[in-house]
């Protein structure tokens, strides 16, 4: 079981979930897959704008991280996902519309809210078509990993002191810099926080002076042989 390192410090995005989900719906859901697609729908729709919001079947199945929640084998994962969606429709959480426009066919899913019910009726009356809406790409992979998960996945387990150092780094450096420094550490097989920290400090000092961050060997020599070498030598 993968461990959860905790919610990150600072400002994080929030997903609104109506209270009836907890009082009326959650006690009735007895299937883990159904619970997953229901929560995913709340999260997904929060990222959309406009009066009409929906998910297509393709939105669910093409999110690789979501699909992994239903199994490691793609065929069985798709089948489990389809069952979960059917359960959510049967329960009445989702309103499902089979949409066909020329050669294109898809299943569209709306939350069973006043806005969702109105959208379904408008679609059936031909008052709007999905092609008329801006439906941006939304996927779990788009969300950047928090610094603790990033460190554990690439470098190693956390200690309380390391966690505090990571919090300080997050307050000091852009997340993109931290990700790049960890990538360099992995490529150079120097999986130590002091090495990563040295890269970050050097970048802070040298940014804008032509430092080459894309050549792992150049960076490896620079940080092992440079002023931070005492921290990162093997």
Q: What is the pLDDT of residue 133?
A: 54
Q: Which of 29-38, 160-169, 210-219 has the highest mean pLDDT?
A: 29-38
pLDDT digits over 33-74, tens only?
999 999 999 999 998 888 889 999 999 999 999 999 999 899
- Least confident stretch, 7-21, 84-98, 161-175, 219-233: 219-233
Q: Which residue has the higher pLDDT, 234 or 2?
A: 2
Query: Dihedral of the CA atoms 181, 186, 190, 191 (nearest 10)?
Result: 90
Q: What is the pLDDT of residue 75?
A: 94
CB 38 within 8 A of CB 88: yes
pLDDT band at 5 (very low <50, low <70, confident <90, very high): confident
The CA distances from residue 12 to 16, 145, 234, in Å, are 13, 11, 37
* pLDDT at position 27 over 60: yes
pLDDT digits over 116-134, tens only?
999 999 998 888 888 655 5
User: 144, 229, 156, 143: which is closest to 180 by C-alpha?
Assistant: 144
CB 41 within 8 A of CB 66: no
30 burial (CB, 10 Å; 0-12 / 13-18 / 19+) is exposed
Q: What is the pLDDT of residue 220?
A: 46
Mean residue pLDDT across the chain: 83
Q: Which residue has the higher pLDDT, 83 or 152?
A: 83
Between CA 38 and CA 60 the distance in angstroms is 11
């Amino acid at each position: 079981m993968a461990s959860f390192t905790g919610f990150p410090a600072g400002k994080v995005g929030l997903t609104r979930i109506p209270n009836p989900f907890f009082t009326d719906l959650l006690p009735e859901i007895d299937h883990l897959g159904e619970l997953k697609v229901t929560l995913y729908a709340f999260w997904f729709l929060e990222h959309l704008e406009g009066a009409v919001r929906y998910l297509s079947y393709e939105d669910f199945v093409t999110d690789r991280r979501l699909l992994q929640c239903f199994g490691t084998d793609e065929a069985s994962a798709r089948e489990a996902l389809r069952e979960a969606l059917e359960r959510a429709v049967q329960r009445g959480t989702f309103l499902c519309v089979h949409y066909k426009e020329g050669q294109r066919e898809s299943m569209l899913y709306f939350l069973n809210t006043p806005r969702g019910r109105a959208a379904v009726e408008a679609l059936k009356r031909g008052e709007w078509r999905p092609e008329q809406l801006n439906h941006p790409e939304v996927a779990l992979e788009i969300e950047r990993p928090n610094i603790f998960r990033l460190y554990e996945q690439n470098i190693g387990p956390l200690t309380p002191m390391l966690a505090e150092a990571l919090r300080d780094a997050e307050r000091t450096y852009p997340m993109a810099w931290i990700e790049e420094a960890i990538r360099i550490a992995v490529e150079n097989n120097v999986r130590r926080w002091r090495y990563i920290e040295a890269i970050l400090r050097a970048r802070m000092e040298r940014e804008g002076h032509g430092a080459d961050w894309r050549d792992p060997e150049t960076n490896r020599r620079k940080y092992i042989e440079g002023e931070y070498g005492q921290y990162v030598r093997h």
